[in-house]
Amino acid sequence: MEDDTETICRICGYDDELFWEGGWPTAFICPCCGNESDVGDASVMSLRNYRGYWVRHGAQWHDSLEECKRKLQGWDLLKQMANIPPEWR
Ligand SMILES: [Zn+2]
């Protein structure tokens, strides 16, 4: 079996956290878009819905502490979304 570990949020491209491990969701809640793995991102269709909804509502961060940290580092939504693997766009 190939490595099914995913450390990039399928919805918003946030990285450095474990979202999927061995093909299983970790139920980790993304600090950026607030999705819990397997809830909004189980299929390309549902994650596009979630992402569209999230972006239309101003791409609000779920975790404001993490938001501050990332924004101090020059966070950019489009740059982050460029991390999203092609199969989840
Ligand atoms: Zn996310």
Asked whether residue 2 carries a pLDDT value surpassing 70, the answer given is no
Cβ-proximal residues to 41 (8 Å cutoff; 6+ apart), any chain: 9, 10, 11, 19, 35, 47, 50, 88
| pLDDT confidence tier of residue 10, bands split at 50, 70 and 90 | very high
Interval 20-76: pLDDT, tens: 999 999 999 999 999 999 999 999 999 999 999 999 999 999 999 999 999 999 999
Separation of CA 32 and ligand 1 centre (Å): 5
Query: Residue 14: what pLDDT?
Result: 98
Separation of CA 24 and ligand 1 centre (Å): 17
